[in-house]
Amino acid sequence: MRNRGTALMRKADEKVEDELKAEKRKLQRELRTALDKIEEMEMTNSHLAKRLEKMKANRTVLLAQQ
């Protein structure tokens, strides 16, 4: 009887462990996706900041010519 209870507990523990591992994999995937999006947004932000600086410089030149 005791061995059966231990076996059931072990089986339940293994199930919980498998669920935790699956959740960990899911969270790691979500983290990678989020980090990729952050990197993409940082690149876009950098690109837009450079374009804005060029536009400001062009505006300054145009205003100076008037």
Domain borders along the chain are 1-66
**What pLDDT sits at residue 40?**
99
Stretch (H or E) spanning 1: none
Tokens of 40: 């993409």
Q: Give φ, ψ of 38 to 5 degrees.
A: -60, -45
pLDDT surpasses 80 at 41 = yes
Is pTM, for the whole model, over 0.85?
no
- Percentage of the chain modeled with pLDDT above 70: 97
Mean pLDDT value across residues 49-61: 97
**What pLDDT sits at residue 1?**
57
**What pLDDT sits at residue 4?**
79
The pLDDT-based confidence of 66 (bands split at 50, 70, 90) is confident
